[in-house]
Amino acid sequence: MLRASLISMIALGVVAQEPAKAPAPAPAQTQAQAAAASAQAAAPKPQAPAPKPEEVVLAKVGGEPITEADFQAAFRLLNQQEQMQILMIQGGKEEFVKRMAESKLLAVKAKRMGLDQTPAFRQAVERTKDDLLAREYLAKESEVLQKKLAVSDDDVKAFYEKHKDRFKQPELASVRHILVSVKREGEEKGLSEAAAKAKIAKIQAELKKGAKFEALAKKYSDDPGSKENGGLYEDADPSTWVPEFGAAARTQPIGKVGAPVKTQFGYHLVKVESRKAAREVPFEEAKQVAEQGAQRERQAVIWNELMDSLRKEIPFELAKPSPSEAPAPKAPAAPKAEDPKTAPQAAEAPKGGAR
């Protein structure tokens, strides 16, 4: 079959390269013969029925087939992003089928070793059945759930108004610095106080002679987090830095190198590039983040409603641990910011230099 197909392709290619020939004159036809021929050409030709997915074999492993139906079932279990990757990438389906076949290869070997008869495996199978059935139920109800999950512009706006504290941008500063670290107690490597001050003085002298701050940061700074970027930390929240460094970022004149700043890490030469005042991010700017927040909030509501409805139908009980088994309460975690541009978040501080 494959050879015949290749021969047909070659023949088509040859025909495409041949110059067109004038058609030979056709013998005269009667009017009745012409009408009959026209009717025969227009009549639809019967087509063979398309094979069912379970009849289309994509691979065989140990004599067991992997069919199109098997692929569709596995494909349906993937999330939307994974499905899109398989559909968009050339050869994506073939690669996925190959992985299915390789997985089956391992499974066949495991069966031959009797690993499917162990108690641990049987327990795992039962747990997997529950997970698969849960997915099947959610897939069946997906259309109804998706309609409930949709959020409108009014919902997004309401979320923004309700959580305005999440959309407050703190004061930000863009700062370049050069760190000369000082040897800490108990450490063998590093500069002494005197040596660090001498090095700072040397850098200041080079700055006075016209050397670029960025170049000196790359050459001398001991802060690996900003060294290769010319000492720059851009649009960072000064409150996340150690107090002395944060104070310099807030108060130093913009564009000028201030006096050395001493912190627990050593001595810093600081140059403030710019500052941005704290502000409330307007809705249009925060809309995308607010929409994501509204969707997460709606998802939680719909999920809880679904669980409540099922609990009314099906007995449901969670065992409560005894006081001796109950874990000790943990301190509440700090709320996570939605986005660095639209919510307060700890900006990355100079590593080893200004935290």
Reported residue count of the chain is: 355
The reported pLDDT for the residue numbered 11 is 26
> What pTM did the predictor assign?
0.53
The reported pLDDT for the residue numbered 328 is 62
The reported pLDDT for the residue numbered 78 is 85
Give me the average pLDDT of each 10-residue run along the chain (355 residues).
30 31 44 54 66 90 92 87 89 92 94 94 92 90 93 96 93 96 82 94 96 96 94 95 96 96 95 95 95 96 95 91 64 44 38 45
Task: Measure the CA–CA gap between 167 and 160, rounded to whole angstroms.
Answer: 8
DSSP-assigned letters across all residues of 277-340: --EEPPHHHHHHHHHHHHHHHHHHHHHHHHHHHHHHHS----PPPPTTTSPPPPPPPPPPPS-T
Query: Cα 188–192–197 angle (5° rounding)?
Result: 150
